[in-house]
């Protein structure tokens, strides 16, 4: 096995396989999108990013000159169609809502995500795009599971509008494939974390908790802290995405997680151990949008994508912490 802390697996995607491939990353300035743009550029692909304009250009990377940055609203059908011109593979990472707040305005969630995606798929069909890789949500599309780890064929019963729009987009991808032959892969990631995640936003428990503890602020937990989640390091997630580019097998949907669960209290304890200090935990009432447990079965990705997660939570937390506070690396 040729693996490293970066998550690169045995027989990694080579530059030869992706050299010259024309890729569009919808949402290329977000946490996952930036990592994906960087990996694609490193692999020799020609990369275009489409996203809303960043604040003062702060979301650029060292690969900025190798990426065609295109700014605009995902709801602008003509602009999105223009972004798809001369593209082979589209990575769809854009979401205009968050799981915790999506139920506040389901109509807006539906319009800005599903209708905008439909416009993109129509353009992809017209422009003969080779493949669409859609980032769904392994954390929300299943709802409250009846068994764990959760396989891809588990019933889809999301309890937040965010999860509903992800499921609807998955179904439209299948429809476009069935009627017009549009090639696609759906990735259902668990909770991604790692360097580059916005630590001052409430989304993303790992980065949020680390930031709160560094700033010596109270760490708020919704519920009793025993909710279980599957946390995947960003490099492992991006490696799965890269493998989906060249995948040509029978499956269309893949869970991408670790297959291991940790409670919120266990996550905080791991951060406490890393930082050498205790967190000031404040418990708040549980939210109706939070499921009690979510652990993904990733055997399909192991078997068909020849992929497996390589970074443990403890290692991933250390890598994240080193980036935030420039902590000396531990051999």
Hey, which residues are catalytic here?
162
What is the distance between the alpha carbons of residues 169 and 95, in angstroms, rounded to a whole number?
11
* Beta pairing, strands 262-263 & 228-229: antiparallel
Q: At 284, which helix (H) or strand (E)?
A: strand 281-284
Cα dist from 16 to 12, 48, 188, whole Å? 11, 19, 27
| HSE-CB for 182 with a 13 A CA cutoff | 29
* Beta pairing, strands 67-71 & 46-51: parallel
**What length is written for the chain?**
331
**β-pair partners for 185:** 133
Q: At 58, which helix (H) or strand (E)?
A: none
What is the distance between the alpha carbons of residues 270 and 233, in angstroms, rounded to a whole number?
15
Query: How many other CB atoms are there within 10 angstroms of residue 5's CB atom?
Result: 15
What is the distance between the alpha carbons of residues 231 and 260, in angstroms, rounded to a whole number?
8
The phi, psi pair for 183, rounded to 5°, reads -80, 140
Query: How many other CB atoms are there within 10 angstroms of residue 72's CB atom?
Result: 15
What is the distance between the alpha carbons of residues 85 and 92, in angstroms, rounded to a whole number?
15
Whether cis (ω within 30° of 0) applies to the bond prior to 283 is no
């Amino acid at each position: 096995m040729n693996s490293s802390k970066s998550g690169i697996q045995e027989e990694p995607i080579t530059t030869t396989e992706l050299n010259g491939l024309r890729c569009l990353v919808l949402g290329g300035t977000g946490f996952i999108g930036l990592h994906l743009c960087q990996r694609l550029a490193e692999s020799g692909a020609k990369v275009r990013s489409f996203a809303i304009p960043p604040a003062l250009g702060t979301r650029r990377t060292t690969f900025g000159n190798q990426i065609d940055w295109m700014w605009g609203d995902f709801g602008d059908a003509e602009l999105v169609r223009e972004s798809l011109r001369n593209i082979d593979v589209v990575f769809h990472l854009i979401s205009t809502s968050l799981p915790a707040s999506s139920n506040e305005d389901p109509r807006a969630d539906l319009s800005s995500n599903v209708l905008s995606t439909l416009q993109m798929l129509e353009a992809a069909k017209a422009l003969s795009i080779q493949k669409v890789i859609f980032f769904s949500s392994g954390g929300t599309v299943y709802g409250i599971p009846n068994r764990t780890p959760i396989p891809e064929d588990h019933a889809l019963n999301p309890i937040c509008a965010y999860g509903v729009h992800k499921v609807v987009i998955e179904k439209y991808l299948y429809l476009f494939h069935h009627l017009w032959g549009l090639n696609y892969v759906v990735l259902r990631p668990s909770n991604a974390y790692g360097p580059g995640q916005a630590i001052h936003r409430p989304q993303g428990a790992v980065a949020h908790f680390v930031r709160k503890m560094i700033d010596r602020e109270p760490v708020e937990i919704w519920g009793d802290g025993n909710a279980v989640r599957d946390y995947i390091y960003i490099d492992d997630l991006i490696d799965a995405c890269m493998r989906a580019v060249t995948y040509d097998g029978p499956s269309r949907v893949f869970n991408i997680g670790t297959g291991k669960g940790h409670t919120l209290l266990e996550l905080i304890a791991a951060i406490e151990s890393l930082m050498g200090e205790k967190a000031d935990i404040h418990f708040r009432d549980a939210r109706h949008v939070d499921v009690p447990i979510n652990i993904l079965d990733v055997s399909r990705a192991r078997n068909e994508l020849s992929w497996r997660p390589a970074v443990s939570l403890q290692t991933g937390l250390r890598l994240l912490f080193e980036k935030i506070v420039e902590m000396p690396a531990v051999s």
